[in-house]
Amino acid sequence: MSLVISRLHVRHDSTTALVDGLPPRLRRLFSEADVANDHLIALGIWLGTAPFVAGLAALVFGWGAAAGSVLCMAGLPLGLITRWSGRRNARLVASLPDLIDGVARALRSGASLHQALHEVATDQSTVAAVELRIVLAAVESGSDLTHALANWAERRPIAEVRVVSAALGLVVENEAGTGRALSGVSDTLRDRKSLADEIRALTSQAATSMQALVFLPIGFLAIDLAGDGGVVSYLGTEPIGRLCLAGGVVLNLVGWRWMRGTINRQMPT
């Protein structure tokens, strides 16, 4: 267990070769959640222990407990991936001001825009620099820089990325005197991040309450499985119990989506 926990706390610069080898849909899901190789290894270890845990639960508590343990062990990684969704975008937004500052410094030192972009993309190891290297790779393949920046904004439909893309697009048209303008853009991005952090802090209690309301029913079922399992047996075998279980799951998901949407609408757009 300690190995699994230690694998979950990896550095942000971990390689993602295993993630890149996944099917496209899973690769996108794991990429948005900022899942790296060590996370996948930890996931493999965690799922590898599932048969042992299920067998032990079946031996001690019965087959109902075994089924519940398998569902819990499969549901925990899914819950983590859902919770981590958007972490890469958050890191991208946080690193954009430094990227813009680097471009502005290079322009003030006399470099052209292309030289400034290459310098920043090479010197920095942030998510924004990685995204910038993708833009520059498209330019090297023959795409126009303005078009490559527009494609970046479409690929990452985030307000901050649109602002940076538009600002750099204006620099393409006129590089003269743009250093101060780019510094103003980076200040604006930092102000937006500060505002988002403040709103996130103010809504943290609501987010915690939302998570508690969603996961408490699962916890109660787990406690019942550790006991006589009467409630789980009723929900799984009796027609009315199955109806209650299905209705509870649907209402739980609807409530979670509604509460999460209410909280997300408070964030700046």
Q: For 17-32, how does the pLDDT look when each residue is reduced to its tens digit (9 = 90+)?
A: 565 566 666 666 666 7
Q: Token digits for 105?
A: 């410094």
Q: H-helix or E-strand containing 83?
A: helix 63-84
Mean pLDDT estimate for the chain? 78
Instruction: Please state, for a pLDDT cut of 70, what percent of the chain lies above it.
Output: 81
Residue 225 CB contacts under 8 Å (≥ 6 apart), including other chains = 57, 61, 64, 65, 68, 69, 232
- Choose among 172, 211, 163, 168: nearest CA to 191: 163
What pLDDT was estimated at residue 20?
58
Q: Where does 156-238 have alpha helices with state H?
A: 159-173, 178-202, 204-226, 230-237
Q: Which of 42-51, 71-80, 129-138, 227-236 has the highest mean pLDDT?
A: 129-138
Work out the pLDDT band at 80, boundaries 50, 70, 90.
confident
Q: Residue 2: is its pLDDT beyond 50? A: no
Please give the distance of CA 159 from its chain centroid, rounded to a whole number. 17
Instruction: Please state, for a pLDDT cut of 90, what percent of the chain lies above it.
Output: 11
